[in-house]
Amino acid sequence: MFTRIGHFDGTREALRPMQRVDNVREAAKDFRRDMLAKPRVLFYKTFELVRVPYPSKFAYLNAFGLPTPFVHLCNRLFVIQFSSSEGVKTLLVSPSDWENQRATPFFAHLDKKAGPLVGVMEALVLKKTSTVLQCLASIGLRPEDVDYITYDHLHTQNVSRWLGANGQAPIFPNAKLLVMREEWESAQALIPWQNQWYCPQGTQGIAPERIELLDESVWLGDGAVALVRTKGHTEGNHSIVAHTEQGLLVTSENGVSLDAYEPKHSSISGLADFAKRTGAEVIINGNTQEYVVDQYISMVQEKNIAGPSPVDERFPNVVPSSESQPYWLFPGTAPTLRTGSLEFGKFVVPA
């Protein structure tokens, strides 16, 4: 089910950071060529789950040029089906149990600051579009037919309800979590700088056999999907790459918009100026800032894997797992180009 990817071996070992950037860039181009020669996914569909406020100072680290305090992040679910030697497999990417993640300290603190006005503030800044289970029901996918779930990183995620924990029966009884070992172990013993962004008990008490720990980048099944290590936003961050009719679509939260990957073409205040002044080719999403040099390199890696968007070749074929969206309450934050809803292939009803 898992085939090791060796394209990026040794690319980050150089002492000089820009040499690492160049090494990763070239390896990404080779990886892109090889993955495009592999089969396409059988089915790929995105669903909007919820939109939440997120500090602009984190979204576009050091680059945003307006006093607007927040951007509006749209959190998405991705349903991907691919072939394997064991038959068709169904993967959920970023199945955020947002109804049960409000205990994440950062968001709990926002609620506390709002005080008695929390209901009013929630009505203004939260848009609750759909739940994971509602999305699955809309395409006829039963919880028991989910084989794998994965997240590019575990910020805010409450995985316990999906996989079962502490005596609670799992909603996805046959699914395993695919996660980098670094990310999983980090989530078990967080320092205060990190723990503001992790849901308390979100990964605690899950049976070990429900967790597939990965130590390296891998292709899944026939190679139509890849999980590529992209350390940076968190210690164990990885990107999900899917071969679709639109080419290779790359998903993570290293950047919160396509503007972040090509700031020189951005119409968002400050981004193009920052890119010109500093020479930066990407703007990182920096809330915890665990490995910012690696995150910069990872975003270069992601956009070179993705290649140009067929909608606007100035921007890469990247689909952020949480993408900034325009919102009247947060002026000046509208992205230059948005990915929109995507659907490719035909859903395969599990036997």
* 290 or 11, which is more confident: 11
pLDDT at 106: 86
pLDDT at 116: 79
Mean pLDDT for 306-312 is: 97
Mean pLDDT for 98-114 is: 84
Distance CA 228, CA 235 (A): 13
pLDDT at 109: 84
Q: Is residue 349 part of a domain?
A: no
Confidence of residue 122 (pLDDT cuts 50, 70, 90): confident
Q: Flag whether pLDDT at 335 surpasses 90.
A: yes
Distance CA 199, CA 203 (A): 8
Mean pLDDT for 245-255 is: 97
Cβ atoms of 267 and 280 closer than 8 Å: no
Number of residues in the chain: 351
**Domain containing residue 224: CATH number:** 3.60.15.10
Mean pLDDT for 40-48 is: 98
Q: Is residue 312 part of a domain?
A: yes
Q: Is residue 321 part of a domain?
A: yes
Q: Is residue 345 part of a domain?
A: no
Q: Is residue 343 part of a domain?
A: no
Distance CA 56, CA 65 (A): 10
Q: Flag whether pLDDT at 102 surpasses 90.
A: no
List the Cα angle 192/198/204 in 5-degree steps: 105
Distance CA 200, CA 109 (A): 14
Structure tokens at 82: 């691919």
pLDDT at 154: 94
Specify the number of domains making up the chain.
Answer: 1
254, β-bridge pairs: none
pLDDT at 264: 98
Q: Which residue has the tokens 């929630």?
A: 122
Q: What is the mean pLDDT of the chain?
A: 95
Q: Is residue 262 part of a domain?
A: yes
What pTM was computed for the model? 0.96
pLDDT at 101: 85
Q: Flag whether pLDDT at 166 surpasses 90.
A: no
Q: Which residues of 36-57 are buried (b: 16+ CB within 10 A; e: fewer)?
A: eeeebbbbbbbbbbbbbbbebe
Q: Flag whether pLDDT at 66 surpasses 90.
A: yes
Mean pLDDT for 313-341 is: 97
Mean pLDDT for 126-151 is: 97
The set of residues, in sequence order, having a beta carbon less than 8 Å from that of 321 and lying 6+ positions away, is 75, 76, 78, 93, 94, 151, 152, 251, 252, 253
Q: Flag whether pLDDT at 114 surpasses 80.
A: no
What CA–CA distances, in Å, run from 229 to 171, 269, 282? 28, 31, 18
Mean pLDDT for 119-146 is: 92
pLDDT at 179: 98
* Closest residue by Cα to residue 83 from 310, 275, 255, 243: 243
Structure tokens at 42: 């059988």
Cβ atoms of 206 and 159 closer than 8 Å: yes
Confidence of residue 312 (pLDDT cuts 50, 70, 90): very high
Cβ count near 340 (within 10 Å): 9
Q: Flag whether pLDDT at 167 surpasses 90.
A: no
| Structural domain for 274, as ranges | 2-327
Q: Give the whole-number percent of the chain exceeding pLDDT 90.
A: 86
